[in-house]
């Protein structure tokens, strides 16, 4: 495939189905976790190490959101997990630096790896398959191989890598590998139910996309897993062109009320020129919840995971990601 054919394929033009094309990378999220699982042996040297901190340098908001989700799920933390866009100045031999994200030409990420390695820190890279970031990585950096078929960013690859590094300080590699492979299997099962080939009556991602169509979106959760998914989903959706925000449960009522008030009191609105003000409704998505919710809200939950919180969060994250590839029913 090349030239004009490439452009037609990725734009979903010609005979290509746009949803199927956009779903391609999402469909590899289980395989991305397996790639991390296969590399877990490389972290055996961390077991028992008294590190000062794990520093995660994320090249984009989604990668940083995945790192924060891991930190939330592992709380109370055994050691500090610092999530940043650039390398903190204190990093030295007692720290582990993990770079995650698929921006092949990120100068900040490349500089973080090189500087951290020069200071004696352990370094890990879960990045792209090709490009300056991977080419310039220090020889001592532990590299998680990228999948050769997927071309876009992988949220669960970042999630799995950070989780594996944090867990490697206290757990045997085999335990970590088995957990990642179990989560990968659950993600694959979830993805089967989210395929664009399945219609709205049986596809939770398509139902979710239809629910938020034409609305302003707020993500929230009522407990730890739900909150981790909600914060990450808000970043993933915004990056995919569905602007949305996150609030905690205690802030939800005030957020919806204040947002509604702001929309109906636009000082620049001229009813003689612009017509009657018709604000977009506010819709709330409550993650990892199966019970009743407030008006204009939708609960997104799943059955308990055999792999615990990691499996629950991973399944709901791919559902959130799959919803972004579905066609907007109002467009």
Averaged pLDDT, 218-227? 96
Structure token digits, residue 34: 């397996």
pLDDT of residue 226: 97
Q: At what angle do helices 173-193 and 155-168 cross, to 10 degrees?
A: 160
Confidence of residue 237 (pLDDT cuts 50, 70, 90): very high
What distance in Å separates the CA atoms of residue 194 and residue 126, rounded to the nearest whole number?
26
Counting DSSP H helices and E strands in the chain, the numbers are 13, 9
Q: Using CA atoms, how far apart are residues 150 and 148, in angstroms rounded to an integer?
A: 6
- What is the chain's percent helix, strand, coil content, to nearest 5? 50, 15, 40
Is 28 strand, coil or helix?
coil
CA 209/CA 241 separation, integer angstroms: 12
Q: List, for residues 287-305, the tens digit of each pLDDT value.
A: 999 988 888 999 999 999 9
Q: Which helix (H) or strand (E) holds 237?
A: helix 224-239
Residue 3 gets the label, from left (phi > 0), alpha (psi -120 to 50) or beta, of left
Second-level CATH architecture of 28-186: 3-Layer(aba) Sandwich (3.40)
- Confidence class for position 105, pLDDT limits 50, 70, 90: confident
pLDDT per residue as tens digits for the range 27-67: 999 999 999 999 999 998 898 889 999 999 999 999 999 99
Ranges of each domain in the chain: 28-186, 198-325
**DSSP per residue over 77-144, as a string?**
PSS-EEEESS--TT--TTEEEEEE---TT-HHHHHHHHHHHHTT-EEEEE--SSSHHHHTS-TTSEE-
Residue corresponding to tokens 């008294």: 50
Tens of pLDDT, residues 273-284? 655 555 688 999
Q: How confident is the model at residue 195 (pLDDT cuts 50, 70, 90)?
A: very high
Cα torsion 164, 169, 174, 178: sign? negative
Q: What's 304's DSSP letter?
A: P
Residue 258: predicted pLDDT: 56
Counting residues of the chain whose pLDDT is more than 90, the rounded percentage is: 74
pTM: 0.89
Cα–Cα dist 195/192, whole Å: 6
Tokens for 277, please give them: 């003000």
pLDDT digits (tens, 9 = 90+) for 62-82: 999 999 999 999 999 999 999
| CATH node for 198-325 | 3.40.50.10490
């Amino acid at each position: 495939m090349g030239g004009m054919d490439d452009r037609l394929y990725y734009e979903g033009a010609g005979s290509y189905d746009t949803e199927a094309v956009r779903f391609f990378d999402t469909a590899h999220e289980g395989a991305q976790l397996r790639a991390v699982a296969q590399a877990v042996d490389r972290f055996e040297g961390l077991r028992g190490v008294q590190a000062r901190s794990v520093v995660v340098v994320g090249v984009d908001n989604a990668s940083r959101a995945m790192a924060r989700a891991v930190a939330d799920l592992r709380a109370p933390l055994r050691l500090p997990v610092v999530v940043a866009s650039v390398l903190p100045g204190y990093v030295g031999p007692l720290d582990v630096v993990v770079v995650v994200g698929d921006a092949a030409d990120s100068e900040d990420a490349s500089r973080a790896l090189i500087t951290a390695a020069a200071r004696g820190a352990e370094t890990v890279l879960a990045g792209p398959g090709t490009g300056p970031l991977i080419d310039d990585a220090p020889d001592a950096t532990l590299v998680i191989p990228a999948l050769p078929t997927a071309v876009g960013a992988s949220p669960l690859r970042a999630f799995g890598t950070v989780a594996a590094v944090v867990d490697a300080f206290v757990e045997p590699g085999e335990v970590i590998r088995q957990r990642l492979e179990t989560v990968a299997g659950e993600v694959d099962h979830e993805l089967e139910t989210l395929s664009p080939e399945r219609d709205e009556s049986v596809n939770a991602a398509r139902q979710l996309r239809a629910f938020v169509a034409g609305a302003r979106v707020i993500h929230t959760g009522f407990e730890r897993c739900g909150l981790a998914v909600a914060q990450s989903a808000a970043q993933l959706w915004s990056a995919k062109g569905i602007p949305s925000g996150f609030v905690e449960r205690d802030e939800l009522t005030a957020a919806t009320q204040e947002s509604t008030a702001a929309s109906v009191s636009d000082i620049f609105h001229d009813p003689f020129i612009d017509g009657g003000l018709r604000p977009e409704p506010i819709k709330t998505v409550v993650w990892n919840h199966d019970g009743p919710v407030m008006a204009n809200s939708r609960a997104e939950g799943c059955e308990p995971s055999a792999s615990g919180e990691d499996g629950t969060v991973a399944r709901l994250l791919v559902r959130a990601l799959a919803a972004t590839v579905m066609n907007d029913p109002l467009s």
